[in-house]
Amino acid sequence: DGGITQSPKYLFRKEGQNVTLSCEQNLNHDAMYWYRQDPGQGLRLIYYSQIVNDFQKGDIAEGYSVSREKKESFPLTVTSAQKNPTAFYLCASSVQQGSYGYTFGSGTRLTVV
Amino acid sequence: AQSVTQPDIHITVSEGASLELRCNYSYGATPYLFWYVQSPGQGLQLLLKYFSGDTLVQGIKGFEAEFKRSQSSFNLRKPSVHWSDAAEYFCAVANDYKLSFGAGTTVTVRA
């Protein structure tokens, strides 16, 4: 079945370390998105990519980086510059820019220890 | 940019009772509006969407939503709640080809 796979489901990181969250889709979608979810704040957009080798900052990009070298993959790196990285991270994809039928992954919960 | 507000952080409803979740959107042209549901520790699933046309939209799992321009609202309803409807619900609006989400409403279902 087609879908989005996020790994790992739980991730622990020491302060000062970078960590990369994986997001892979086999839906042949052009657009991919990273959201951060905190209690009471809903989902906030970190980065998005409409096509391979292109991506744009969302509302809270500081302290994060992404790459889009392959259509099916959109990894997110949480850098040591991110002041409060503990959160639930969700990856999503859609057929193309302007197509709002988002498919979401099951998320990665990152905890900084 | 368009935004949505969900006034209720938490709602408790009895199984079999009706449910209504509120969503208000900011001023703008006719918005593209969505409702998503999230079970604990999971991703989001689309319940329904409104782009134009009939203001009463039917979705999955027995949910419906009504777009009311005069009230800038897009409230989600279900006539009879099941225990499996306990989850967090998000209203969302399209913004420059991306979705912006509300803060969410957590629904608890009591027996």
* pLDDT band at A1; cut points 50, 70, 90: low
Cis preceding linkage at A75, omega within 30: no
| Mutation to test the B interface, candidates A56, A102, A110, most B Cβ within 10 Å | A102
A48-101 tens-digit pLDDT: 999 999 999 999 999 999 999 999 999 999 998 888 999 999 999 998 877 778
Q: What is the pLDDT along chain B (111 residues), one digit of tens a residue?
A: 788 999 999 999 999 999 999 999 986 777 899 999 999 888 899 999 999 888 999 999 999 999 999 999 999 999 999 999 999 999 999 887 789 999 999 999 999
Residue type, A13: R
* Nearest residue on chain B to A4, alpha-carbon basis: B43
How far apart are alpha carbons B58 and B56 in whole angstroms? Answer: 7
pLDDT > 70 in chain A, percent: 99
Q: Pick from A97, A100, A105: which is nearest to B43 by CB?
A: A105
Position B101 scores a pLDDT of: 93
- Any CB–CB contact under 8 A between B14 and chain A? no
Q: Pick from B6, B43, B102: which is nearest to A107 by CB?
A: B43
Q: Pick from A58, A90, A100: which is nearest to B94 by CB?
A: A100
Position A62 scores a pLDDT of: 96
Question: A106 and B101: CB-CB below 8 Å?
Answer: no
Chain B nearest-CA distance from A79, in A, is 23
Is the pLDDT at A111 greater than 80? The verdict is yes
Chain A residues with CB-CB distance to B104 below 8 A:
40, 42
Q: Pick from A42, A48, A90: which is nearest to B98 by CB?
A: A48
Position B27 scores a pLDDT of: 64
Taking a C-beta distance cutoff of 8 angstroms, is the pair A6, A110 a contact?
no
Position B98 scores a pLDDT of: 84
CA distance between the termini of chain B: 41
Position B95 scores a pLDDT of: 82
Distances (CA, A) of A94 to A4, A28, A48, B31, B104: 11, 9, 11, 19, 22
Position A101 scores a pLDDT of: 80
Position B52 scores a pLDDT of: 86
Neighbouring C-beta atoms of residue A111, cutoff 10 Å? 11
A11-47 tens-digit pLDDT: 999 988 999 999 999 999 999 999 999 988 889 999 9
Position B44 scores a pLDDT of: 92
CA B100-A22-A83 angle, to 5 degrees, is: 65
